[in-house]
Amino acid sequence: MARTITFQPSRSMSEFIEAMVSSGNYNNQSEVIRAALRLLQEQDASSKLNALRLLIEEGEQSEDDINFSMDSLKKRLDSR
């Protein structure tokens, strides 16, 4: 269910949003904000995936026996 969130963009952000709407690529300001948030979500997911890949590589290169815990892995990923 959609809910209304209000925020105050800076002047430059507001001008950018208006430029995106004026370009015809977006019908309104909300579409611009939604597109920006989707990109942020994708960036966050990509960052977590890259962190996971680094941890896997680190584990593969390690000669130590490591006790694996999914909870500790999640905590390490969230902290990056």
Residues 43 and 25 sit within 8 Å (Cβ to Cβ): no
Domain residue ranges of the chain, discontinuous segments joined by +: 17-79
What pLDDT, on the 0 to 100 scale, is given for residue 41? 96
Residues 49 and 61 sit within 8 Å (Cβ to Cβ): no
How far is 58 from 65, CA to CA, in rounded Å? 12
**Region of 24 on the Ramachandran plot (φ > 0 left; ψ -120 to 50 alpha; else beta):** left
Which pair of structure tokens corresponds to residue 40? 């942020």
Residues 56 and 73 sit within 8 Å (Cβ to Cβ): no
pLDDT tens across 13-62, in order?
A: 999 999 999 999 999 999 999 999 999 999 999 998 988 898 888 888 88
**Bigger pLDDT: 28 vs 72:** 28
Q: What is the pTM of this model?
A: 0.64
